[in-house]
Amino acid sequence: MKQRIVALSLIASLLLAGCSVASSAPVAIPPAQIATPDIASTITAQVDQRLAQQDPTPDVAALEESILATVEERLAAASPESVAKLVEDTVAARLAEQQQTEEPGVDTALIDLYRAANPAVVYIVVPPIGSGSGFVYSADGYIVTNNHVVDGGRAFEVVFASGEHMAATLVGTDTDSDLAVLQVESLPDGVEPLPLAEPDSLQVGQFVVAIGNPFGEQGSMSLGIVSGLGRSLRSQRSSRFGSTYSLPSVIQTDAPINPGNSGGPLLNLDGEVVGINAAIASQTGVNSGVGFSIPVIAVREVVPSLIEKGSHDYSYLGAAFADEISLAGQQQYGLTQSQGAYIIGVTPGGPADNAGLIAADPNSGRGGDLIVAIDGQPINSFADLNTYLAFYTTIGQTIDVTVLRDGARISVPVTLEPRP
C-alpha cells in the first residue's frame, strides 16, 4: 500500500509540474483567494476515479497532502478549474499509456510463431510409398507422425527446415490412434522440441495453425479455427463384430490440410501442439474446409508407450454399441431415454460378459443395458464412453458401470482387459 501511495503521489506531482507549460494561460487570482484544498481534492478525485479498478483504494489523505504541497508551491495563481481540466486530460493519457499492451499484431504473432515452430517440423520421405510431415517430440531425436505416413515403409528419411537430411528408424506404431514415432540420431543445432498443450484446452472458434508439407511444399503454414470437437476417426483395424474401433475426441478444423500435411502439428497461437493433422473430408483428395486432427491427449497417452515398447494397449470392455440413439432408435430399443451407450453385442468371455452386462436381443433389438455413467461420470453417448475408456482408464482397472436395465438403475463392476 505504501508503494502504491508513493507512486500515486509522484504521478500527481509530475502532472501538476506540467501545468506551468499548459497551453491555456492560468487565471490570475490573488493567492489569498486560491482554495488550494479544493484544488487538491479535485485532483485527488480525478486520480482516484481512474484508479478505482486497479489496486486497493489509495490513502486519499496522503495524496491530498502531497498534492496540496505542490499546489501551494507552484500553482498559487491557477484556478481550480484549469488544474482539474489539465489533470483530467493528463491522467487519462498517462493511464492509457500504462494500460497499453505491448502485444504484437496478429501478423507479427504469426510470423514469430512460424519462426519458433517451423524448425521442429520435418518432412518425412518414405520411398517408394510417399511422404508426409512430423514434428520433433523430444530432445533425444524422437519424431511424431501418423501411422499411415510410415505404414509399409522400410526406409525413412527426415528433412529438417534447414535442408539437412537424416536417416530415421521406426520406433513404434499404433493403428487405432494413427500415431507413429521415428527417431534420428541427433537434432540439428538450434532445433527444439515443440511443447504440448494441456488436454481439454481447446474451444470451438479458437485460432489454430497447421504447419507441414502439403504436396511436398516444405514448411507451409495455414491458419484456421477449431470448427468442432469430439469427432472420431475410424481405425483401419476391425473388431470381432465386423465394425471398427474409432479414436475419440478428434479435432475438426477449417485450417487448410492437404495431402502431405499428415503427421504435422496443429498449433495454438502460443506455439503449443494441440493436435496431429491426420485426415481431410473430401471427394477430390484436396482440402474442402473440413480437416481432422488427432487430439493432444492421444499424443500424451500413446507416444510414451510407443517409445517404451513400440506399441500401445487400450482398455477393453468387450462390447459393441449403437453409435447414436435417435428418437426412432429409442423407440425401437424400448428405451426411456436417448442419452447413454446402448449395448448391442457382448464378446463371449470378455470383461463385459464376465461382469454380467447384457446385450440387446439380436432379433428385436430390445433388452440391452444402457450405460449412463462410469465411475460417476455421465455417459451421454458412445463417444463419451469411448473417450473415457481410451484416455482415462488403465488395463486391469475395475470400473463402476451404471446401467439402466428393465427400468432400474444398477451398478456393475467391470475389470478391464487389454484390447485384443
Active-site residue (options: 9, 41, 131, 148)? 148
Q: Is-catalytic flag, 48?
A: no
How many Å apart are CA 144 and CA 348, to the nearest integer?
37
Active-site residue (options: 262, 293, 315, 381)? 262
Q: Is-catalytic flag, 262?
A: yes
Q: Is-catalytic flag, 148?
A: yes
Q: Dig out the grid coordinates for 193 from the structure.
A: 522440441
Q: Say how far residue 8 (Cα) sits from the centre of its chain.
A: 40
CB 141 within 8 A of CB 183: yes
> Which is nearest to 221 in space by CA: 207, 231, 232?
207
Active-site residue (options: 131, 133, 176, 178)? 178
Q: Which residues are catalytic, by number?
A: 148, 178, 262
